Structure 1
């Protein structure tokens, strides 16, 4: 079976004036247009191709790599909006449609959105949606507390940043636990910080508990060295000044400083901290 929206390994069946016909073990065939035909080949060779519908709604193969495949989330740019919906650039000749019914808010040309790619059962076409909650579920969780996970940043709320977890679940990173610049569409690792009674997931972008001390101490010390062995930060410093300089909370900063002090790597004075190696 030739799978739309996915990579297929198919065998070269025959050549024609318009390209190569490729087939699977069930005698299904699809055209690979001339522009994608390799310079050298033999009948019977296998090729890995991506399959989707062309402008005439016929299955077609390509050697181009799309930015998103079936059942995936990805950040894509709107390149056109017309009476049918919004069209996304996904790296292929024919743009990916987001019907109006699948838009959380009306999409704007030139803007970027996190979307999900799926196969529409009625039209058998690949389409996208940015109503992401339809494709996420926390009913049966496949993660546990302290597990490392992969995240996609999806949107900003009053409490923090909503994220997609392992392409399956929905979670939240609270603003007071974000110590670096992040944006919608960013891919990054995270850790399951907590699971609530209603299966809502709290996410941390840095190691939990004691594990955060060593990285924090190392970061403070490296920044200290880069500033000639002195930082004008201490336990009475404004939290925003600490966040701006070190991208960490004041609580984490104080723990990191405590670790460095116990290791006799720094000296703490009223005007800041000093490296003992300088």
Structure 2
């Protein structure tokens, strides 16, 4: 017998606090709190085996959301900075997703209420742990997308984070990639977001963006710059020559987005650049 197994066992003995179950060879304890009803000697029960809080092999009549050899979405219920994150697998003891299987940056870790796509594994002592579903397993369940999905809005949950961006599985089980430049804030494992499909690849995967279409974003960014200028009495020491890291820190937008927004305002004759400053054109305001 081992943790992660689902077995039909027979009640061999009763105690004040529970039952000893037998598979004909070995026995395991089923606490009364883990039984769904009052049991009697020779009753047959279906149980799931796990290690309890004292690391003893034990039985429960509660069935896990994800069993050995299966995978599924489990909710994050707690976080331990030293150990990892704990997931609700439908039984009394939460399932640990170990720190080694999580991103190095803690701000990319899942948070409580997030959903993680995982399977089960055993550590060296036979205890159950969660493990992220592999890319091969994702590919097996993923659906092929077609061109009709372009520009549609979809919801997806992050299952993998890399330096270039994040991979998500959509509600219709399409694989979707969001590049970091197309994010609104850094994404984390287990996070569910809504985004727009920007490209449908030949292999049936999707590229997505959390940003508005460019023509919409230009207007929003331009309004943001204009509000900033107004709050600074109509002038700011930032132009299209300002360093990209300064732009990102001050306005939370890329250098290219800043230049497009600034270009829009200049084309509309609402601002001008003078001696390293961007200024609202006062004559327009006075009119």
Structure 1: tracts of 5 or more residues without a match: 1-29, 33-52, 61-69, 120-126
Aligned to 2:192, which of 187, 190, 193? 187
Give the match for residue 116 of structure 2. Answer: 115
- Residue 206 of structure 1: CA displacement? 0.4
Say if 2:218 is the partner of 1:217.
Answer: no
Q: As a proportion of its length, which structure holds more helix?
A: 2
**Contact 2:87 2:96 survives alignment (8 Å):** no
Give the match for residue 160 of structure 1. Answer: 165
**Contact 2:144 2:203 survives alignment (8 Å):** no
After superposition, residues 1-278 of structure 1 pair within 5 angstroms as 56-59=59-62, 71-72=72-73, 74-75=75-76, 77=78, 88-90=86-88, 94-97=92-95, 105-106=100-101, 112-113=109-110, 115-116=116-117, 129-131=131-133, 133=135, 134-135=137-138, 137-141=141-145, 144-166=149-171, 168-178=173-183, 180-275=185-280, 276=282
- Residue 58 of structure 1: CA displacement? 2.3
- 1:256 and 1:98 mapped to 2: Cα distance? 46
Instruction: Report the RMSD for the aligned CA atoms in angstroms.
Output: 4.5
Structure 2: tracts of 5 or more residues without a match: 1-34, 38-47, 50-57, 64-70, 121-128
- 2:239 and 2:94 mapped to 1: Cα distance? 52
Aligned pair in 2 of structure 1 residues 273, 196: CA closer, same or farther (>3 Å)?
same
**Aligned with 1:188: secondary structure?**
strand
**Contact 1:150 1:187 survives alignment (8 Å):** yes
- Residue 194 of structure 1: CA displacement? 0.9
- Residue 235 of structure 1: CA displacement? 1.6
**Contact 2:166 2:178 survives alignment (8 Å):** yes
Tell me which structure has the larger Cα radius of gyration: 2
- 2:213 and 2:74 mapped to 1: Cα distance? 27
- 2:263 and 2:162 mapped to 1: Cα distance? 34
- 1:228 and 1:91 mapped to 2: Cα distance? 57
**Aligned with 2:151: secondary structure?**
coil
**Contact 1:116 1:128 survives alignment (8 Å):** no
The runs of 4+ residues in structure 1 deviating greater than 6 Å are none
- Residue 93 of structure 1: CA displacement? 7.5
How many pairs were matched up? 208
- Residue 106 of structure 1: CA displacement? 5.0
TM-score when normalising by structure 1? 0.56
- Residue 175 of structure 1: CA displacement? 3.1
- Per-residue deviation, residues 218-258 of structure 1 (Å, max 9, x unmatched): 22223333444333221212222222222222222122122
- 2:214 and 2:167 mapped to 1: Cα distance? 22
TM-score when normalising by structure 2? 0.54
